[in-house]
Amino acid sequence: AESIPMWVADMDLPCAPEIVAALRRRTEHPTFGYTYQPMQIWEAVRNWLLQQHNWEVDVDAFVFAPGVVTAFAAALWAVTEPGDTVLLMTPLYRPLQKAVIGAGRLLREHRLEFVDGHYKINPISLERDLKG
């Protein structure tokens, strides 16, 4: 019996010439990282922030960063000085905690409480941790 391939990644059909041409153009560039951010991305982010948080942000305020740790480190250096104390809520992605220490800042942790399967902020302990 003859079978018909039906898995998700099946490419038995030819790709559109426009897609092939775009891929060829893109592969001529020597870097394959996140190098292009069309305005539609920033507009989508702006719209999401407005709809989800009622926060109106001009698209000119957005700055591209190639990753979360890189963006965090840039913000850390922009708003703190070596020797400053930085409070992070934990548990947290370990590389972000290491970025604080690696930048010569002092790491202070605010442990989130795990209640009914969710992490929650305890305002009393947060205030205490903010005061040091």
Share of residues in the chain with pLDDT > 90 (%): 72
Q: Quick one: pLDDT band at residue 56, thresholds 50, 70, 90?
A: very high
Q: In angstroms, rounded to a whole number, what is the distance separating the alpha carbons of residues 19 and 115?
A: 49
- 126 contacts: CB under 8 Å, gap ≥ 6: 110
Residue 3 pLDDT greater than 80, yes or no: no
| Structural contact between residues 86 and 80, judged by C-beta atoms closer than 8 angstroms | yes
pTM, two decimal places? 0.62
pLDDT tens readout for residues 9-55: 556 778 899 999 999 998 998 877 766 788 999 999 999 999 999 99
Q: Quick one: pLDDT band at residue 130, thresholds 50, 70, 90?
A: very high
DSSP per residue, 1-69:
-------TT---SPPPHHHHHHHHHHHTSS--SS----HHHHHHHHHHHHHHH-----GGG----SSHH
